[in-house]
């Protein structure tokens, strides 16, 4: 069967199963939605009752704007209770009448709601806070900061007294800590943390009273000093000039102490409010229990009533699952060849070719046949391309070598003529022969670059590595370019030690020469310099060639080491160059297991750097 026909058939089966499920769903939904919503609304009575509890406390605390919200919540709950008893609508949803089997449970719930409602109305009329305790707390919060500042000043007043007043200093520090603790515990009481805070406040009050009496030389015999870890003691009098602050603390403390006693004996919450609130919570708990009983029994009745419908739904669900798995199996079998093609395509991307075996006659079979044909064609074309590339590379290497051969005698005979071994030359003759010699040298350099680039491409560039001084290699490159640098008034400076490095001295000289030539080309003005730095690292040596030339734009730096790439073609045409120097340099450095990079900014010069290992033989052994 065609894949498209299989697809249509499977879609029709799925649509049919979906239609059957939808019909059953809507039938069951219409039967159960109203009853489910009614049960949910019974649960909403608990939610509404909880909100009412919170609003009662808010109204009793003085938030009169919550009074209207409280009345609205009570009305909403009573509306639900009435709708459940007689049936009706809430928010456009139909509420069914509670089953007759639950009439007794409904009456219990209705009674408990009326009791809860009465306790709510009683609680909201009672004030939450004890007025005397509230005034005392507010006074302490207001005066505590003054007490802290005063005790801190007392500490500063006696800090410079001699050792006879060491105990006085200890007590003043304890008074400061007690003052801070009194403020903290008062704040905790104000936010409701009153049990432990009251005990702590009582202890700190006694400790502060003991300390202030000792400093004022007042007897502490009537105080329970042992309960706070203190003892009775008599101290010498503080000098008059250092006791001014102490005299101001005494009356302030007396006024605060009376307020602390009020907070010790009374709580912020009014006892009448606590009693009414507890009664309200008790009635609320009874209401919750009655609601839970209705929810449990109503849900059980609903489940029993719908057991037949659930059985049918379960049968249809099992049938749906079976159909679903059949569809998955058929689709899996139909799409398996596509997975094979995808896997084969990923191999083709990596250059691995092969055939897919599939005997089907559908569209996938045609696709497999076309893929196998395409795979074989690509393989043939790739093999042919590889042969052509090898032939091209070998031809280019041969022709480059052949071009280089006749240039050597041209260059040599031009030199002989210029030396006038074969006879005197006129000025014009010398000028023309010099052009021949210079042009042949340029052409020889370009051909040498082409030949080196091709050898690198083919992996045929030979390296003769020995352990020699890197600075000697760099100096050899500088010597070759000394005349050109002097002609352009460019100073070349070398910094660093002559580090012993395993390298091909001739090839690294070629790299350094290429980089120096690029710097000379980049320097347009006179009185410039090229700085070469040698950095010794534990296992490598880094060579950096820095100039103060025109620099290279960031967007052009990514292609610097590609063959035939030239940053500024006008400079190349003016001063020569094949565009292969950096590519060859990169190949030579990588052959030395190193790396080469550039860092440059426009009009701020360029720095070309390369790094090679000191001992490449050891690195090769490690790699193996």
Residues 424 and 557 in one domain: no
Task: Report how far residue 552's alpha carbon sits from residue 602's, in angstroms, rounded to the nearest whole number.
Answer: 5
> Is the per-residue pLDDT at 30 higher than 60?
no
Of 166, 226, 228, give the one whose Cα is nearest residue 200: 228
Token code pair at residue 231 = 């003892």
Of 599, 561, 594, give the one whose Cα is nearest residue 580: 561
Identify the CATH number of the domain in which residue 605 sits.
3.30.565.10
Are 551 and 604 in contact by the 8 Å Cβ rule? The answer is yes
Of 173, 154, 172, 364, give the one whose Cα is nearest residue 242: 154
- Is this prediction's pTM over 0.75? no
Which pLDDT score is estimated for 402? 66
Residues 481 and 619 in one domain: yes
* Boundaries of domain holding 563: 466-623
Per-residue model confidence as pLDDT tens digits over 300-348 = 887 777 666 667 667 777 777 887 777 677 666 666 666 666 776 676 6
Any idea which of 104-108, 110-114, 171-175, 318-322 has the lowest mean pLDDT? 318-322
- Taking residues 480-484, report their average pLDDT: 85
Are 186 and 148 in contact by the 8 Å Cβ rule? The answer is no
First vs last C-alpha separation in the chain: 57
Stated as kind and residue range, the H or E segment containing 602 is none
> Is the per-residue pLDDT at 81 higher than 70?
yes
Any idea which of 244-253, 403-412, 530-539, 588-597 has the lowest mean pLDDT? 403-412
Residues 495 and 601 in one domain: yes
Q: Has residue 342 been placed in a domain?
A: no
Mean pLDDT, rounded, of the chain: 79
Q: Has residue 558 been placed in a domain?
A: yes
Task: Report how far residue 179's alpha carbon sits from residue 205's, in angstroms, rounded to the nearest whole number.
Answer: 9
| 349 band by pLDDT with thresholds 50, 70 and 90 | low
148-158 CB burial, b ≥16 within 10 A, e <16: bebbbbbbebb
- Taking residues 87-100, report their average pLDDT: 82
Q: How many CB atoms lie within 10 A of CB 322?
A: 11
Q: Has residue 437 been placed in a domain?
A: yes
Which pLDDT score is estimated for 573? 43
Residues 522 and 538 in one domain: yes
Any idea which of 96-105, 249-258, 369-378 has the lowest mean pLDDT? 369-378
Last residue of a domain, one of 200, 233, 268: 268
The count of residues in the chain is: 624
Residue 269: phi, psi to the nearest 5? -75, 135
> Is the per-residue pLDDT at 146 higher than 80?
yes
Q: Has residue 341 been placed in a domain?
A: no
Q: What is residue 101's DSSP assignment?
A: G
Residues 417 and 524 in one domain: no
Residues 508 and 598 in one domain: yes
For tokens 């939904």, the residue is: 29
Task: Report how far residue 129's alpha carbon sits from residue 306's, in angstroms, rounded to the nearest whole number.
Answer: 54
Last residue of a domain, one of 268, 297, 332: 268
Task: Report how far residue 500's alpha carbon sits from residue 498's, in angstroms, rounded to the nearest whole number.
Answer: 7
| 123 band by pLDDT with thresholds 50, 70 and 90 | confident
Last residue of a domain, one of 206, 234, 268: 268
Q: Has residue 433 been placed in a domain?
A: yes
Task: Report how far residue 1's alpha carbon sits from residue 363's, in angstroms, rounded to the nearest whole number.
Answer: 10
Q: Has residue 326 been placed in a domain?
A: no
Q: Has residue 332 been placed in a domain?
A: no
Residues 438 and 415 in one domain: yes
Strands 540-547 and 606-613: antiparallel
Residues 124 and 154 in one domain: no
Identify the CATH number of the domain in which residue 114 sits.
1.20.120
> Is the per-residue pLDDT at 597 higher than 80?
yes
| 624 band by pLDDT with thresholds 50, 70 and 90 | very low
Task: Report how far residue 511's alpha carbon sits from residue 520's, in angstroms, rounded to the nearest whole number.
Answer: 14
Residues 602 and 479 in one domain: yes
Identify the CATH number of the domain in which residue 135 sits.
1.20.120.230
> Is the per-residue pLDDT at 395 higher than 70?
no
Which pLDDT score is estimated for 571? 45
Strands 490-495 and 528-536: parallel
Residues 605 and 575 in one domain: yes
Which pLDDT score is estimated for 569? 45
> Is the per-residue pLDDT at 583 higher than 50?
yes
> Is the per-residue pLDDT at 532 higher than 70?
yes
> Is the per-residue pLDDT at 152 higher than 70?
yes
Which pLDDT score is estimated for 611? 93
Residues 474 and 614 in one domain: yes
Identify the CATH number of the domain in which residue 431 sits.
1.10.287
Question: Which residue has better confidence, 214 or 379?
Answer: 214
Q: How many domains does the chain have?
A: 4
Token code pair at residue 466 = 């020995």
Q: Has residue 321 been placed in a domain?
A: no
> Is the per-residue pLDDT at 35 higher than 60?
yes
Which pLDDT score is estimated for 358? 65
- Taking residues 26-40, report their average pLDDT: 70
Residues 99 and 142 in one domain: no
Of 246, 204, 253, 261, give the one whose Cα is nearest residue 229: 204
């Amino acid at each position: 069967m065609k894949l498209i026909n299989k697809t249509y058939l499977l879609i029709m089966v799925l649509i049919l199963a979906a239609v059957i499920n939808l019909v059953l769903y809507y039938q069951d939904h219409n039967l159960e939605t109203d009853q489910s919503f009614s049960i949910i609304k019974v649960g909403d009575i608990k939610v509404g009752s909880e909100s009412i509890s919170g609003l009662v406390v808010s109204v009793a605390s003085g938030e009169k704007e919550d009074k209207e919200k409280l009345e609205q919540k009570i009305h909403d709950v009573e509306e639900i209770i009435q709708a459940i008893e007689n049936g009706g609508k809430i928010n456009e949803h139909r509420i069914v009448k509670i089953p007759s089997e639950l009439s007794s449970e409904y009456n219990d719930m209705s009674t408990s709601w009326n009791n809860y409602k009465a306790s709510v109305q009683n609680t909201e009329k009672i004030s939450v806070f004890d007025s005397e305790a509230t005034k005392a707390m507010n006074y302490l919060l207001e005066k505590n900061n003054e007490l802290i500042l005063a005790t801190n000043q007392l500490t500063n007043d006696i800090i410079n007294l001699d050792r006879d007043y060491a105990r006085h200093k200890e007590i003043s520090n304890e008074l400061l800590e007690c003052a801070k603790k009194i403020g903290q515990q008062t704040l905790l009481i104000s936010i409701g943390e009153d049990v432990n805070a009251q005990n702590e406040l009582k202890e700190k009050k006694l400790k502060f009273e003991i300390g202030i009496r000792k400093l004022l030389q007042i007897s502490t015999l009537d105080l329970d000093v042992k309960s706070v870890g203190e003892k009775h003691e008599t101290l010498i009098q503080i000098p008059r000039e250092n006791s001014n602050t102490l005299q101001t603390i005494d009356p302030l403390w007396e006024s605060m102490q009376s307020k602390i006693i009020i907070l010790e004996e009374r709580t912020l919450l009014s006892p009448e409010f606590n009693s009414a609130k507890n009664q309200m919570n008790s009635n609320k708990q009874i209401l919750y229990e009655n609601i839970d009983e209705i929810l449990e029994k109503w849900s059980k009745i609903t489940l029993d009533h719908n057991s037949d419908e659930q059985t049918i739904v379960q049968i249809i669900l099992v049938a749906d699952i079976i159909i679903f798995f059949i569809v998955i199996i058929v689709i899996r079998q139909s799409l398996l060849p596509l997975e094979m093609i995808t896997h084969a395509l990923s191999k083709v991307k990596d250059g691995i070719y092969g055939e897919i075996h599939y005997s089907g006659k559908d569209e996938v079979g045609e696709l497999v046949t076309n893929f196998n044909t395409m795979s074989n064609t690509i393989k043939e074309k790739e093999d042919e391309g590889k042969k052509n590339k090898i032939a091209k590379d070998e031809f280019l290497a041969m022709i480059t070598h052949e071009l280089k051969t006749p240039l050597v005698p041209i260059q040599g005979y031009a030199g002989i003529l210029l030396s006038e071994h074969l006879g005197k030359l006129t000025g014009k003759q010398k000028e023309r022969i010099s052009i021949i010699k210079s042009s042949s040298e340029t052409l020889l350099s370009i051909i040498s670059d082409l030949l080196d680039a091709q050898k690198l491409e083919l992996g045929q560039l030979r390296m003769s590595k020995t352990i020699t001084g890197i600075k000697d290699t760099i100096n050899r490159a500088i010597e070759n370019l000394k005349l050109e640098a002097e002609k352009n008034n460019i100073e070349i400076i070398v910094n660093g030690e002559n580090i012993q490095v395993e390298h091909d001295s001739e090839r690294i000289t070629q790299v350094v020469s290429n980089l120096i030539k690029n710097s000379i080309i980049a320097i347009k003005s006179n009185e410039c310099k090229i700085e070469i730095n040698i950095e010794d690292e534990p296992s490598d040596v880094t060579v950096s060639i820095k100039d103060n030339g025109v620099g290279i734009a960031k967007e052009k730096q990514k292609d610097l080491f590609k063959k035939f790439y030239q940053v500024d073609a006008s400079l190349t045409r003016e001063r020569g160059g094949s565009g292969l120097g950096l590519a060859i340099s990169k190949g030579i450095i990588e052959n030395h297991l190193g790396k080469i990079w550039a860092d440059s900014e426009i009009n701020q010069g360029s720095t070309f750097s390369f790094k090679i290992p000191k001992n490449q033989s050891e690195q090769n052994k490690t790699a193996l």
